[in-house]
Amino acid sequence: MSTGYQIIVCGSVVPDPLQTLEPVAGTGLPALKNEMMLPAVLDPWASHALYEAAHLAQAKPGSKVWLVSLGPKAKLQQVMMTVAQKAPFELVAVDGPAGGFVDAHETAAALAGAIQAIAGLDRGRLLVFGGWESASRGAGATLQIVGERLGIVDQFQGVDQLTVADDGELEILERIEGGQHQVSRCVGPPALLGWATGHLPEPRNNPQIGMTNMRAIMPALQKARPAKVAAEGVVYHRVTLPRQQRETQVVKDRPAGEIAREIVDWIVQG
Amino acid sequence: MERLLVLAHTEGDGTLGRPALEALNAAAALGGDLTIGLVGEEAQAAANQAARSGAVRFLAAQGPEFAQPRYVTDAAAAEALCRAAQAQVVIAPGTARWARVLPGVSARLDGRVDTHVTAIAVEAGALAVTRWYYRQRMEAVLSRSRRPWFILVDAGVAAPWQGEAGAARVESVDAAIPEIRTTVSGVRAPRSGEQTIRPDADLLFVAGAGWTKKQADGQTHLPEAEKLIAGFLAATGASLGSSKSLVDLAGEGQAVLSFMTHLNQVGQTGSTPRHPKGLAACCHGEEPHVVGWRFINQRRAINLDPNCGWARGKADVVYVADAFEVIARVNALLEERKATSGS
Ligand SMILES: Cc1cc2nc3c(=O)[nH]c(=O)nc-3n(C[C@H](O)[C@H](O)[C@H](O)COP(=O)(O)OP(=O)(O)OC[C@H]3O[C@@H](n4cnc5c(N)ncnc54)[C@H](O)[C@@H]3O)c2cc1C
């Protein structure tokens, strides 16, 4: 393919997984305690999608990658400082809440709108990527709805591998039950892929790419249009943390043989 | 009660799988008129299987094009079934096949969707679902006013519906299928050919990066680690999980455990399997890992470090010991038991 792909990656920010999270009842939707203060990262599975997109774009000259993010502008800006160093992309920012309690349909509508507003998109070259589930809502629903809104009915979720054949056919491996992959072949774009871990390690920070990216990222953030997304028609009856800590019994200074016996007894008892 | 539709796809042999029967049971428990919508190459056997479930109608989108789990055809089938049933609430198992497609179908029908649902109940007179947020770190109960409401139930949260088969009258529903551009060519097992992920196992065994680290003698012992873990899995039938650190090592091209892939990873960016018991060895028990243990009831860990994460309220028992030594003895004991029981 001489013209390359147009790869749109949907992904936003989530709280750093090492943070302790606590729900609070907000005026509208539930929220996280100190949500705006929590350090954030790019959603892990969406990050994999971005790395895969950059890798594919590099392999197919003429390709271009966009990262479409709906999140609080200030948080996006923070996170972009690092993400921008990972891979070349153009940011399309939409300013709005990225928390887990927002509804997937509303997020998807805002994302699809932002994608449709990108000038010069060509369906014959279009691949929409994202993480198959977020680390916030964790629903695995947003991308499918984005795809529906864009009229893309070749959709794949839990993708670990995409291979492009010489004739442009896409071979896609999706996670299914029992630790297996379903193998599909799709004639080509437009297609939508929700990525799981993929095969690429996290790229090293490249300050040069970072600098180039940031030149366009800052104006993109300034231009970010506000989106009113919430969860219309949803009543959250309660949000609770799971049962507190277990009473851990720490067994020390016991011979390995005794420990082994205890473990075997535990395993075999019904 | 609202108009309920249970959406199920058939398995390769034309029957309903356990997840479908679980969703059926969860729906039947709500009472009211139930329709079952089936998708697959041939739906009669599946309908007969659920003939005595109390369902009042059996609808099916069937034909060779519905044999493959694929977005374009499954979406068309599910859409047609929902329209035919005029469903207000759609309950389906959260299988990979339905998870791929039903959120999109909910958008097509201008409805809403909730996935990974762990309970359905009536709360203050309204239907309410329970699901987790932030990768199993907090649990919410919610209701929705928008219909149709698609509810995908996680596997293992309800008992499967059980009952005798009968003869069901199946009404075929036509689905308008657009151009088909995708073909499913098959299923690929993990690289080693060894099936280490066993969702039905009673025990989850999680191996951590410690198996690859230098031990007291200043050396690594990879071949031994691999043998011990493989021996343990063979003797117990446990499902194998991993920490992220261990599978990442494999991804970086280091010689690690040949049968381990990202699919084994448990945690924030891995899976959240459901097993009654879990045993972790050489895994630190950090929060991003342990969120994947949300649905493991009894938890034990073997770690050299008495201050590891597991010891801080994340496991029921922590054995402060060398996992190499303990697992070798566990394997020997299991071997002995097998020999004496004559099996
Ligand atoms: C965005 C993000 C997402 C993440 N997602 C995940 C995830 O999904 N899953 C996940 O697992 N992690 C995840 N992590 C990483 C997580 O924070 C930890 O780094 C990881 O779980 C550590 O793996 P480990 O316990 O195997 O390794 P280590 O931390 O290296 O621990 C090794 C352990 O082995 C023990 N040990 C060594 N030798 C022996 C022996 N002979 N006998 C007994 N014990 C021994 C040591 O005492 C130590 O506790 C994530 C992190 C981030 C930032």
CA distance A197 to B263: 9
Which of A110, A119, A196, A193 is closest to A152 using CA atoms? A193
B142 alpha carbon – ligand 1 mean position (Å) = 34
pLDDT at A50 > cutoff 50: yes
CATH topology of domain B4-172: Rossmann fold (3.40.50)
Of B126, B288, B326, the CB nearest to A256: B326
CA distance B103 to A140: 8
Mean local confidence (pLDDT), B216-234: 95
pLDDT at B270 > cutoff 80: yes
Q: Is B4-172's fold the same as B203-341's?
A: yes
> Helices B96-108 and A104-116 meet at what angle, rounded to 10?
70
Task: Tell which of A235, A239, A269 to mutate to test the B interface (max B CBs under 10 Å).
Answer: A235
Q: Which residue has the higher pLDDT, B256 or B239?
A: B239
In this structure, the strands spanning B126-133 and B138-144 are: antiparallel
Secondary-structure class of domain B203-341 per CATH: alpha beta
Whether domain A6-226 has CATH 3.90.226.10: no
The answer to whether A196 contacts chain B (CB < 8 Å) is: yes
3-state secondary structure of B28: helix
Residues B268, B292 contacting (CB under 8 angstroms): yes
pLDDT digits (tens, 9 = 90+) for B172-187: 999 999 999 999 999 9
The alpha helices in chain A, defined as continuous H runs, are 44-59, 73-83, 104-116, 142-149, 207-223, 256-268
pLDDT at A2 > cutoff 70: no
CA distance A2 to A60: 8
Q: Which phi and psi angles does B162 have, rounded to 5°? A: -130, 135
Which residues on adjacent β-strands are paired with residue B183?
A185
Mean local confidence (pLDDT), B228-251: 92
- Assigned token pair, B74: 């499954």
3-state secondary structure of B84: helix
In this structure, the strands spanning A126-131 and A6-10 are: parallel
Which of B295, B188, B206, B204 is closest to A179 using CA atoms? B188
User: Could you give the C-alpha distances from A159 to A162, A194, B85, B249, in angstroms and in order?
Assistant: 8, 6, 32, 20
- Assigned token pair, B227: 């043998």
pLDDT for the residue B160 = 97
Tell me the ipTM for this assembly. 0.96
pLDDT digits (tens, 9 = 90+) for B34-66: 999 999 999 999 999 999 999 999 999 999 999
**pLDDT-based confidence at residue B258 (cuts at 50, 70, 90):** confident
**Contact between A248 and B134 using a beta-carbon 8 Å cutoff:** no
Amino acid (one-letter) located at B80: A
pLDDT digits (tens, 9 = 90+) for B273-310: 999 999 999 999 999 999 999 999 999 999 999 999 99
pLDDT digits (tens, 9 = 90+) for A86-109: 999 999 999 999 999 999 999 999
**pLDDT-based confidence at residue A28 (cuts at 50, 70, 90):** confident
Mean pLDDT of chain B: 95
- Assigned token pair, B99: 């998870």
pLDDT for the residue B251 = 63
pLDDT for the residue A1 = 45
Q: With a 6 A CB cut-off, is B282 part of the ligand 1 pocket?
A: yes
Mean local confidence (pLDDT), B102-126: 96
Residues A30, A150 contacting (CB under 8 angstroms): no
**pLDDT-based confidence at residue B136 (cuts at 50, 70, 90):** very high
Which of B138, B159, B69, B167 is closest to B291 using CA atoms? B138
User: Could you give the C-alpha distances from B174 to B69, B122, B156, in angstroms and in order?
Assistant: 18, 34, 32
- Peptide bond before residue B148 is cis, with ω within 30 degrees of 0: yes
List the domain boundaries for chain A: 6-226
Mean local confidence (pLDDT), A120-133: 97
Mean pLDDT of chain A: 96
| CB contact residues (below 8 A), chain B span 240-279, against chain A | 248, 251-252, 261-265, 268-269, 277, 279
User: Could you give the C-alpha distances from A201 to A47, A86, A161, A198, B253, in angstroms and in order?
Assistant: 10, 11, 13, 9, 10
| CB contact residues (below 8 A), chain B span 95-134, against chain A | 95-97, 99-101, 103-104, 106-108, 112-116, 123-124, 126, 128, 132-134
**Contact between A105 and B106 using a beta-carbon 8 Å cutoff:** yes
CA B291, distance to chain mean position in Å, is 15
Task: Tell which of A45, A229, A267 to mutate to test the B interface (max B CBs under 10 Å).
Answer: A267
CA B263, distance to chain mean position in Å, is 12
pLDDT at A193 > cutoff 60: yes
